[in-house]
Structure 1
Amino acid sequence: MIRVLLAEDQALVRGALAALLALEGDLEVVGTAADGEAALTMSRELRPDVLVTDIEMPRLSGLDLAERLGAELPGVRVVIVTTFARAGYLRRALDVGARGYLLKDAPAADLADAIRRVHAGGRAVDPALAAEAWGERSPLTERERQVLREAEGGASTAVIASRMNLSEGTVRNYLSEAISKMGCENRIEAARQAREKGWL
């Protein structure tokens, strides 16, 4: 049996996924979590073979969760199931160690197959998205992404500097670089465009 943990913040989707996977004779859903922190705690306790997680979740995103599991529990393989058909998200998911990336509108059989493939040591990635992902890379550095994420929420330069333990001048430089790389007029437009591409 392949032991599966599900992390999904929408209760209806979480229940539907658990019910679908329970129909598979070789898969056992050992737990479900409504947010990333709960999924991390349950992973530590239950040691599932595969964690199936959404990207956008409260308290800890699916990407952050995959990264933490890679560091703490490398034996737990991660499959991302999301509505975000964005090449940037896929690249980031693979960069943090996820082994699978499927869209929520994929057939249920595809998810079961992806879990089996990932458990066996392979990868399972939506083919159309994979082709797109290799064509476009984010021009932003990690620091520029962090600063843009803060700016996206409307934080001032002073607030961002305080949160990130940087000088205001350094924050302005990061923002200026990010805006220039994105070919945008201002920080809000740059953050929106980067979010749409899946780079934040």
Structure 2
Amino acid sequence: MTIRLLIADDQAMVRGALAALLDLENDLEVVGQVGRGDEVVDACREHRPEVVLMDVEMPGMDGIAASAALRRAMPEVRVLVVTTFGRPGFLRRAMQAGVQGFVVKDTPATQLADAVRRVNEGLRVVDPQLAADSLAFGESPLTAREAEVLKAASDGGTVADIARSVHLSEGTVRNHLSSIIGKTGGRTRADALRIADENGWL
């Protein structure tokens, strides 16, 4: 049986390289490629893959949100995240979104192909270093609302700008920002954003 694959990555060169490597395997066939997270579900409906190789950072919708959308639309399709961003928080969020595997892009080709086969069989495949880091770092300290406020703050806007964006009062936004800075251990809003981003909490 040939395992049908779809590759979702915003970098055409990376998609091409992954497709070329995986097509060398007798039992793997790349049937489709997309460069945006919001194209994943429609592409899966069209190409009917068994496994999607999903990047995390993509335009339109990130890979974790795309994985959750795919799980709702086509729960039979399995997802293997293949990303440059080996951040502990990403792994935890990906697993919560229903992802079956999580590996980094410098995984050797033979190991990547084996990860695809194992995910297709219904097994979980997780980069061991990332799994250890995820346990060490633990859950995100931010609430869903705090994460939303911090994401809105990433554009560098004023408190008023953020308040309009997330439909909260300016006082509530200030309270959330103060809490975020305290929880992340950052000195400033920008510092808190950097810490949260590095840990994959956003």
* TM-score for both structures, normalised by structure 1: 0.95
**Aligned-residue offset at 1:113:** 0.8
| Identity over aligned pairs, percent | 52
Q: Aligned partner of 1:110: which letter?
A: Q
Aligned-residue offset at 1:40? 2.5
Q: 1:115-153 deviations in whole A, cap 9, x for unaligned?
A: 111111111110111111112121111111111111122
**Equivalence for 2:93:** 92
- Greater mean alpha carbon deviation, residues 68-77 or residues 156-165: 156-165
Q: Distance in 2 between matches of 1:73 and 1:28?
A: 19
Report the counterpart of residue 56 of structure 1 in structure 2.
57
The alpha-carbon deviation at position 155 of structure 1 amounts to 2.2
Unmatched runs of 5 consecutive residues or more in structure 1: none
Runs of 4+ in structure 1 off by over 3 angstroms are none
8 Å contact from structure 1 (residues 21, 29) kept in 2: yes
**2:152–2:166 CA contact under 8 A, matched in 1:** no
1:166 corresponds to which residue?
A: 168
2:121 counterpart residue number:
120
CA contact (8 A) 2:64 2:93 kept: yes
* Conserved 8 A contact 2:55-2:82: yes
Quote the Cα distance in structure 2 between the aligned partners of 1:11 and 1:125: 25
Q: TM (normalized to structure 2)?
A: 0.94
Inter-partner Cα distance in structure 2 for 1:164 and 1:97? 27
Rounded to whole Å, the distance in 2 between the matches of 1:96 and 1:172 is 30
Deviates more, 1:188-197 or 1:152-161: 152-161
| Aligned counterpart, 1:68 | 69
The alpha carbon displacement at 1:38 in A equals 2.0
Q: What amino acid maps onto 1:75 in structure 2?
A: E
Residue by residue over 1:56-78, the C-alpha shift from the partner in whole angstroms, topping out at 9 and shown as x without a partner, is: 11111111111111122111111
TM-superposition CA deviations, 1:71-111 (whole Å, max 9, x none): 22111111111111211111111111111111111101111
Distance in 2 of aligned mates of 1:112 and 1:118:
10
The separation in 2 between residues aligned to 1:161 and 1:121, in whole angstroms, is: 43
Q: What is aligned with 2:42?
A: 41
Separation in structure 1 between the aligned mates of residue 47 and residue 178 of structure 2, nearest angstrom: 45
Distance in 2 between the 1:70 and 1:39 partners?
11
Q: Which residue of 1 aligns with 2:156?
A: 154
Residues in 1 aligned to 2:114 and 2:184: alpha-carbon distance in whole angstroms: 38
Name 1:143's counterpart in structure 2.
145
> Counterpart in 2 of 1:181?
183
Q: Distance in 2 between matches of 1:169 and 1:3?
A: 52
Distance 2:131 2:8 in 1: 23
Runs of at least 5 residues in structure 2 that lack an aligned partner in the other structure: none
The answer to whether the 8 Å contact 1:152/1:192 transfers is no
